Structure 1
């Protein structure tokens, strides 16, 4: 980073006013690369050029390219927000959110001929066919086609009509009343085309208008005593109602609702938008945007970019988290529509379930690109939200102390990355120079040694060279205090929390200082924290038992003439287990580093002194 350039930019920020406004970052060619708004221009803009090394990678990269900046003072923060939207749309800055849906265009095809078919297509390949669309969502197209062929009992088979009349028995769809059975030759062309036109009307006008039209036709047919046609129309109305009930996900007061949820991963934010209209899920859209500043800012900028004048703007939007300027964002979008938009953060009941559904969809999109399950990624994301972290703890370390009888004191460190244990990074610590059991002192020593290895790893890729996003300590507020004291001593910043168990040794909550954070409300977070706590406890107690056993065997070996603690340790390093030691020959014992023939003979006799008795 060019320090001279940063110094000039810092000097320029001193002249900025403490008023709301919009700032424009420019590169060396004068191109605007980022537009932002601020409550206080001086505070916000100057923050970019202080402690640059602590910025997120994307922010750091943007600051690297900033050669100059300009600003516009506004009368209010709301005016700044509106102006920011206009300038982003005008300049398309490189580091602002530029939305790109991950879908291409899709079409509904109506084939040519007397017995036309309705199908879902990705491209317009047949010039003789009629196409409806384009639609940006494959989900909309596929579900719409599936609906109409079932409701109006249109054929989906590969048979050609009228060439294939009565050439084979009707398929299963005919027998389960999902096809009118054109292949039987008993359905007139007039009847088929009537059903086809009603299906196209259903697609073009929607369910409610189609129901109204079919109802009028049914009543007219009954008045004309055409009971067969009236019955056929009645069956279609019932089919529409049945399909509607099957796909009715919510019963909400508003006729239109969008649900937006966010999942973070490294430098990317994945968003899912579930579109509900007339109480039914009509569409799902997925977006991936670069993680530039806070998630609050990403969500704000996404909403302002997503809802543009002329779009189908809903009456209400659910979001999975609160964010700064939420009410102002609703005001700005409302000004682009003929109706007032309300943005809310559901806390309970069915609305909360819809938000969780959207978050799961965002997590599934992330999982598809990262080879992780949506459940794991959602758990990590929700844990970060629960702990008030700026970003999810994708890489976390957990610590536990274990001792047996106050003699063997050890510690264990386990690592979880994106919700999965990474056993290759697990570490064991033997607590040194400690006479009795003191968990706090042992925790201090273990964490201190971990940070020492980080500060002096000198490029070694042993797992210690990377700082985690989160420390979880198996213990209460006292253990958390010890961990924070160690972090302050070494000048390292890592969020740290404790994992508390109940009287039955089951995970109960997360502790921070003198308060507890309940995790029972989120099943995914509860499962993740429980898995972490169980794993670090298993790992440390397993090491404790092995160390205790080894300590006991070492005590037995040092009773042999010529075997001291150094030779005993060398023997176990060489043979690993007591069983392998017993199976070794006298010559093999003598070959261990530090041993001689006399000591090997004494040890061999000690190990096999009961063989003759047996």
Structure 2
């Protein structure tokens, strides 16, 4: 294949560069970054793109689109690697291998509070603190938390409960918390426990045991035998855990990585061991952007993944990777301890590597089969709706509320590979008549599609190929009115209405021209529509329940006649928060200062959804449209 003629003089550009290490960026039309790369010598690396050496189709295509280049000189190769990773994550260049974030994996979170809290966390890492993981399963997280609570007695309670407790809770009574909420541990001792727990979560148990052993000897030397005995017991517990690390020669702190590829589709499997415990496997599907080189994909994965996660002392790879020594140095520098990248191993490690390879191959084959089925469903939907092209983006809207309270609209997004969770959106609906589903749908759609309209300040946003509305003819009419108001005619609008029997597979698909399609349960197109609709339904209800609970947690007491700031404060302090108050009976509530029997009855009824007059159950059924 003939080498493409570059759109700028790359050879002249390269000659003007220095031989210092750094990062280069290839930029296409519209200042869009196409590729980010690192170099130990910028002049040599950049000039290699513009010589006569044959190159892959992917590189040739990238060069043909490049209109200019930019470079950033760094002091060391390690700095270049770190900067490259940061730019790849922030810019997401078209031709780089990209590690797709998966927020479904659980983490251990140690918060940045004055008295740090340790707990399990899923989803976006928006809570300030340190995140350890991700772990392969919730069970692995719970085992880790159980160990940390037993050894270091860190709190797990929510801040609202912590701030309002007047006596220690059950966790203190069973020896899993040191009682910081009521001053049973000093700030200095608690901070020391947090630091030691952090060492264990980082996999630095050897450092921890050395430190505790030295502290035990020091306590004994100053005749503080009670402290020495406590440290002895703590040291014994940690060493009992460590004893499992060397059974059958297994490593204590180890990650095993294997990559499988089919064409440009890739799967990376990670098998993790921490403190001698097998945390299981996790599968990742990097976006290769045309690369078919397993070593390149694995190198990009290692750089990007461990750029955010603390690396273990040893990482075993199923093959050698480019810049292995450089990446090893960067990870060692970031982790402040030596990190080894190994690819030629024997014994148990070879067995783990074989297991990771087989898992990667099986997982990739399963994913490919799933993608083929997804493509077949999309093709059937295209045919059924008479579309000229395969739908690349499908959005679905749903409305959820409880008797008109806390109305929330959800928007979920699917592409050719399935759900795109990073682009899901929720809309808190306000300013409408409670329970007016049509007005709620109109407001949500207006807010979403007005954002996509071009203005003098911004270009047009992304529009879906298909817009699904969970509802009947009324909701479809509202959607059509919004699209007509905004002069949007390229979107195929479809309403998803339950059939008379309201059974899955009996749905009718309503079109804005009045036609109704009934594909039947065996239709691949309907199966795709159901998948998207069910995800929108789940996302809407989750958002509604969260909003409703937030409203009730903050305003339920304020809505009760006779409850002012002083009485509200007395109640929350006495019971340690709203949760404790809800668990109390009428008689116990009436014992709080300023609360008489009649007021206690009203409080109890309001918090439990009862009629304050009759004492009968109130209506509190969560619903979602459609």
**Pairwise TM-score range, normalised by the shorter structure:** 0.3 to 0.5
> Which structure: larger Rg?
1
TM-score by length of 1: 0.38
Q: Scaled by the length of structure 2, what TM-score is found?
A: 0.37
- Work out which structure has the larger RCO, using CA pairs closer than 8 Å and 6 or more positions apart in sequence: 2
